[in-house]
């Protein structure tokens, strides 16, 4: 049981988090543009998140808050 919160407006869509997520539950949200003009990162399936915080540690823009 874990919870991931995303500060969408800080995201630059670099996708570094996607490749370090062991559960493959992160994906750019192509439907959306944030204030900076990027497709922000989104969560496909929150239920699968294990709260490992790999995404948060890899993120250059401190987009994630992780609870577990």
Closest listed residue to residue 4, CA positions, set 33, 63, 40, 18 = 63
Those residues whose C-beta lies under 8 Å from the C-beta of residue 3, and which sit 6 or more positions away, are 46, 49, 51, 66, 67, 68
- Check binding of 65 to other proteins (CB under 8 A): yes
- Residues 37-56 vs other proteins: string with x where CB under 8 A? -x------------x-xx-x
Token pair of 68, please? 């577990």
- Check binding of 24 to other proteins (CB under 8 A): no
- Site residues (vs other proteins, CB under 8 A): 1-3, 9-10, 12-16, 19-20, 36, 38, 51, 53-54, 56-62, 64-68
């Amino acid at each position: 049981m874990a919870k991931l919160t995303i500060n969408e407006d800080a995201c630059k869509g670099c996708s570094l988090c996607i490749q370090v997520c062991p559960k493959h539950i992160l994906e750019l949200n192509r439907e959306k543009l944030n204030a900076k003009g990027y497709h922000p990162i989104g969560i496909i399936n929150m239920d699968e998140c294990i709260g490992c915080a790999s995404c948060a540690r890899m993120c250059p823009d401190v987009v994630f808050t992780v609870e577990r």
